[in-house]
Amino acid sequence: MFSTHPYDDDHLREECGIFGIFGGADAAAHTALGLHALQHRGQESAGIVTFDGEHFHDQRGFGLVADNFSSEEVIRQLPGASAIGHVRYSTAGETVQRNIQPLFADLEFGGFAIGHNGNLTNAIALRKELVKRGSLFQSTTDTEVIIHLIATSTFATVIDRLIDALRQVDGAYSLVALTNDALIGVRDTHGVRPLVLGTLDGAYILASETCALDIIGAKFVRDIEPGEIVTITDSGIESIKPFANSPSKFCIFEYVYFSRPDSSVEGQNVYEIRKRIGVELARESHVDADAIVPVPDSGVPAAVGYSNEAGIPFEFGIIRNHYVGRTFIEPTDRIRHLGVKLKHNANRAEIAGKRVILVDDSIVRGTTSTKIVEMVRQAGAKEVHMRIACPPTAHCCFYGVDTPKRDDLMAANHSIEEMARLIDVDSLAFLSIDALYRAVGEAGRNDASPQYCDACYTGEYPIPLTDHDGGPVPAQLSLLANTGKGA
Ligand code: AMP
C-alpha cells in the first residue's frame, strides 16, 4: 500500500496483514499473536497501537513480529483492552520508520489509529490536492490520505467523517481503526482484500484471515462484507453499508498463493481450493510421469490434488529450508538467485532417473522456476515438466499484492513456449482461467462480469487506476472545497 515516494508511481506495492481486538484483557499480546499468524502477509515491519481508556500507546519496528513483540517488557508498554496491529511487506525501495503502520494521528475528535491492507489507486492525485490545501503529510503511505480526508471532513462524527473520506478514495482496502471508544473495521465496496470477524471471551476481533483467530482460540463469526463498516464499542457491534452496491471482486490470487492454506476465506478453505486447482491442472494438462513434486511450500496443496487425480505418487523431491525468508524479498537479482539455493535443495533419492512433474503456485519473474529446474536436473531427473497452479501472471497488481514492474514479469514478455525454453523444462503448462474459476466453485469465468478480481492474469482492472493512468482527479474532491455537507 504505498509508493516510497508519493509521486513515484512505479511498481512498489505492499502486501499486508491487519488485526484488531476490542474489549479483551491482554489486547497487545493477543494482537502480537494474531500478527504472528499473519506473518506470511508481510515480513518487513510490524506495529501495534493500543488504547488504555486514557492514552494511546504504540510500538513499531522493522522485521518480524517475533523480533519486535516477543518480550514481556514490550507488551507491558502496550497496556489497554483494545488494540490494532499491522504487518507489512515490500520488496524494494526506501523503507522508513515513519511508514510503518498502524499510522496514528490526534484529530479533532481524539486519537485515530489505522492499519490498511490493500492499495489506493487515486492516492497520489488526492495527496497532491490535500497538500495544496495545507495538509502536512508525515509518511509516504497511501493510507495517510485517509487520515487527512478524515481530518478535513466537515462531518461531525468519526464514522461520518470516515464514510466521507472513503467516498473519495478508489482502490482496495480492508481497514482496522482504533479511536478513543471504538474499534472500526471496513472493507472496500468490491471486497478485494479479506477481513473477518471473530469473538473471544466477549471481546471482538477483526483479522485479515481466520488463521489469526485460530492462534488465540477465537471463534470465527463471519466475513466482513464488501462495503461494510463495523463499529465495535462497549455497547456491542454495529454494522452499516453506506456505499452504493458494487459487484464483489475478491482477489483470486488470495486463493492461489497469498492466504494461508489453513484459513477460510469468503467461506472457503484455502487448502481445499488449492487441491482442487491441482485436480483441474491434472485434467487439463497431464503428461505421463513417475513423480509429482511440489515446489514447497506454496506448491504442495496443488501437487496433492494433481497426484490424487492423476494417480501418480506425490513425493517431496525438493526440501525447503524454513530458516530463510522468502526469496522474493531480496532486492537485487544476484541475491535473489542465491536465495533460491538457500531455500531449496533437491532430494536426489526421489528424483534421480525419474520423469518429474514439478508443481508450483505461480511464475512471476521466473527466477525461482529456473533455479529449481536446474537443481532438479542436476539431481538426475530424466524429464522435467512444470505445471503452474494459475494462469500466466502477465499484469501488475495495483490493489495490494506486490508485483514487479511489467517488464520483469516473465509471462508479460514471453509466450509459454519461450518460457518453457528459458526455464529449461520439457513441458510447461498453466491452469486456464476457467479452470481456476471452477476450482473456486464457479462454473467458469463470467467474462461479462467476472466474479473475482483476476487482473494479474487478464489485465481487466475492476477499479479505476487513476494514479497509474494519470487520469483525472476524482470529482468527489470538490467535497474538500465544500464547506457544506457532502453526500
Ligand atoms: P519468481 O522467481 O519471481 O518467478 O517467483 C515466483 C514465486 O514467488 C512463486 O512460486 C511464489 O511462491 C512466490 N510469489 C508469487 N507471487 C508473489 C508475491 N506477490 N509476493 C511474494 N512472493 C510471491
- Collect all residues with Cβ–Cβ distance below 8 Å to 475 and sequence separation of at least 6: none
Residue 422 beta carbon below 6 angstroms from any ligand 1 atom: no
Per-residue pLDDT of the chain (487 residues; tens, 9 = 90+): 443 333 333 334 468 999 999 998 899 999 999 999 999 999 899 999 999 999 999 999 999 999 999 999 999 999 999 999 999 975 433 578 899 999 999 999 999 999 999 999 999 999 999 999 999 999 989 999 999 999 999 999 999 999 999 999 999 999 999 999 999 999 999 999 999 999 999 999 999 999 999 999 999 999 999 999 999 999 999 999 999 989 999 999 999 999 999 999 988 999 999 999 999 999 999 999 999 999 999 999 999 999 999 999 999 999 998 887 544 445 566 665 555 577 899 999 999 999 999 999 999 999 999 999 999 999 999 999 999 999 999 999 999 998 889 999 999 999 999 999 999 999 999 999 999 999 999 999 999 999 999 999 999 999 999 988 754 444 333 333 332 222 2
Q: Which helix (H) or strand (E) holds 429?
A: strand 427-430
Please state the separation of Cα 92 from the chain's center in Å. 16
State the closest ligand 1 atom to the C-alpha of 340, by its place in the atom list counted from 1.
2
Mutation test residue for ligand 1: of 90, 295, 328, the one with most atoms within 8 Å of CB:
328
Q: Which cell numbers hold the place of 310?
A: 492423476
pLDDT at 336: 57
Residue 229, amino acid: I
| Count of CB atoms situated within 10 Å of the CB of 192 | 29
Does the residue 208 lie in any domain? yes
* Same domain, residue pair 163 and 288: no
Using alpha carbons, select from 148, 164, 71 the residue that is nearest to residue 112. 148
Residue 188 beta carbon below 6 angstroms from any ligand 1 atom: no
CA of 72 from ligand 1 middle (Å) equals: 35
Residue 337 beta carbon below 6 angstroms from any ligand 1 atom: no
Record the pTM. Answer: 0.91
Q: What is the maximum span of the chain, computed from C-alpha positions, in angstroms?
A: 76
Alpha helices in 6-132 (DSSP H): 27-37, 65-69, 72-76, 123-132
Q: Cα separation of 47 and 111, whole Å?
A: 16
Does the residue 202 lie in any domain? yes
Q: Cα separation of 59 and 65, whole Å?
A: 11
Is-contact 423 370, C-beta < 8 A? yes
DSSP 8-state class, residue 224: P
Domain CATH for 208: 3.60.20.10
Helices and strands of the chain, counted as H and E runs: 19, 23
pLDDT at 15: 86
Q: Which cell numbers hold the place of 371?
A: 533455479
CA of 257 from ligand 1 middle (Å) equals: 8
* Same domain, residue pair 331 and 435: yes
Q: Cα separation of 302 and 294, whole Å?
A: 8
Mark which of 217, 249, 281 sits at the end of a domain: 249
CA of 345 from ligand 1 middle (Å) equals: 18
* Same domain, residue pair 275 and 424: yes
| Count of CB atoms situated within 10 Å of the CB of 238 | 12
Does the residue 4 lie in any domain? no
Tell me the percentage of the chain whose pLDDT exceeds 70: 89
* Same domain, residue pair 223 and 74: yes
Is-contact 395 455, C-beta < 8 A? yes
* Same domain, residue pair 160 and 287: no
Q: What is the domain extent for residue 232?
A: 13-249
Q: Cα separation of 1 and 401, whole Å?
A: 8
Does the residue 356 lie in any domain? yes
CA of 193 from ligand 1 middle (Å) equals: 18
* Same domain, residue pair 63 and 190: yes
* Same domain, residue pair 231 and 134: yes
Does the residue 457 lie in any domain? no
* Same domain, residue pair 196 and 341: no
Closest residue CA from atom 10 of ligand 1: 362
Positions annotated as catalytic residues are 16
Q: Cα separation of 322 and 320, whole Å?
A: 6
* Same domain, residue pair 245 and 291: no
Mark which of 220, 249, 278 sits at the end of a domain: 249
Does the residue 324 lie in any domain? yes
Q: Cα separation of 464 and 452, whole Å?
A: 15
Tally of domains in the chain? 2
pLDDT at 369: 95
Q: Which cell numbers hold the place of 19?
A: 488485526
Q: Cα separation of 1 and 89, whole Å?
A: 9
Does the residue 99 lie in any domain? yes
pLDDT at 342: 78
Does the residue 2 lie in any domain? no
In angstroms, the Cα distances linking 125 to 67, 430, 462 are 36, 37, 19
Sign of CA dihedral 400, 406, 407, 410: positive
* Same domain, residue pair 284 and 242: no
Please state the separation of Cα 391 from the chain's center in Å. 19
Backbone torsions φ then ψ of 409, nearest 5 degrees: -85, 115
Domain CATH for 333: 3.40.50.2020
Q: Cα separation of 32 and 74, whole Å?
A: 11
Using left for φ > 0, alpha for ψ between -120 and 50, and beta otherwise, residue 470 falls in left
pLDDT at 84: 98
Q: Cα separation of 30 and 48, whole Å?
A: 11
Backbone torsions φ then ψ of 235, nearest 5 degrees: -85, 0
Which residues are 248's β-sheet partners? Answer: none
Closest residue CA from atom 12 of ligand 1: 298
* Same domain, residue pair 211 and 358: no
Is-contact 47 100, C-beta < 8 A? yes
* Same domain, residue pair 44 and 151: yes
